[in-house]
């Protein structure tokens, strides 16, 4: 598993924990994600060559996060992440990139309107539904009423997906 994939999952765990109002852990997962992204060697190679202990030497990666990285490396999946996603099954990779949408707002959009993706957010914005039941107000409201930022974010996400698929 490549570093960017491990980092993406660690970052998504951070976001999901933040949505649940968990204290401290989101920052730990975010720090670990940044450290994994910054590694010159692939985290999988480090584990294969030097073992579990080497993972705990990565800044921000303690035993608990190292165990999760090992599970990702060995299985390509992470049960802990999958359990967190069941609570708020949204497309974090695309929604998180939209300016003004933080973890709490994404959670409210899902809980109150069932919004899981950029497409669903765009439909709700065009129908002005998101402004009746969510905290999107003031200057943020103007960003979503025209959906320009949503479309731009979708284009950026599609470009990123295209780049990843060619790896």
Same domain, 78 and 94: no
pLDDT of residue 146: 45
**Whole-number Å distance between alpha carbons of 40 and 38:** 6
Arithmetic mean of pLDDT over the chain: 84
pLDDT over 90, % of the chain = 53
Q: Which long-range contacts (CB under 8 A, 24 or more apart) does 112-117 make?
A: 115/90, 116/89, 116/90, 116/91, 117/90, 117/91
Same domain, 111 and 159: yes
| Section 70-99 average pLDDT | 91
**pLDDT single digits (tens) 32-61:** 999 999 999 999 999 999 999 999 999 999
Same domain, 81 and 94: no
pLDDT of residue 106: 87
The last residue of one of the domains, among 60, 86, 112, is 86
pLDDT of residue 95: 86
**Helices (H) then strands (E): counts for the chain:** 12, 0
The last residue of one of the domains, among 64, 86, 108, is 86
Same domain, 65 and 82: yes
Same domain, 65 and 103: no
Return the sign of the alpha-carbon dihedral for residues 48, 54, 55, 59: negative
> The domain containing residue 96 runs over which residues?
90-165
In total, the chain counts a number of residues equal to 167
Same domain, 67 and 82: yes
pLDDT of residue 156: 56
**Whole-number Å distance between alpha carbons of 162 and 156:** 10
The residue ranking higher by pLDDT, 157 or 101, is: 101
pLDDT over 70, % of the chain = 79
Which residue matches tokens 């996400």?
157
Same domain, 78 and 104: no
Question: How many domains does the chain fold into?
Answer: 2
Same domain, 114 and 76: no
The secondary structure of residue 44, as a DSSP letter, is H
**Whole-number Å distance between alpha carbons of 67 and 117:** 30
pTM score, two decimals? 0.77
pLDDT of residue 77: 96
Which residue matches tokens 């003004």?
100
**Whole-number Å distance between alpha carbons of 58 and 66:** 9
The last residue of one of the domains, among 49, 69, 86, is 86
Return the sign of the alpha-carbon dihedral for residues 86, 90, 93, 95: negative
**pLDDT single digits (tens) 127-136:** 877 777 666 6
Same domain, 49 and 14: yes
**pLDDT single digits (tens) 92-121:** 888 887 877 888 888 888 888 899 998 898
Can you give the CATH number for the domain in which 63 is found? 1.10.150.110
């Amino acid at each position: 598993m490549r570093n960017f994939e491990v980092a993406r999952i660690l970052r998504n765990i951070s976001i999901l924990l933040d949505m649940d109002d968990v204290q401290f852990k989101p920052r730990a997962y975010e720090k670990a994600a940044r450290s994994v992204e910054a590694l010159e060697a692939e985290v999988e190679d480090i584990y294969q060559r030097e073992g579990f202990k080497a993972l705990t030497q990565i800044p921000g990666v303690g035993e608990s996060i190292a165990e999760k990285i090992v599970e990702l490396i060995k299985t390509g999946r992470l049960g802990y992440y999958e359990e967190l996603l069941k609570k708020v099954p949204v497309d974090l990779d695309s929604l998180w990139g939209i300016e003004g949408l933080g973890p709490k707002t994404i959670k409210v959009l899902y809980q109150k309107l069932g919004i899981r993706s950029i497409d669903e957010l765009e439909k709700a914005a065009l129908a002005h539904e998101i402004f009746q039941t969510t905290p999107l107000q003031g200057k943020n409201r103007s960003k979503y009423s025209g959906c320009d930022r949503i479309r731009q974010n979708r284009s950026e996400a599609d470009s990123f997906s295209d780049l990843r698929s060619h790896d």
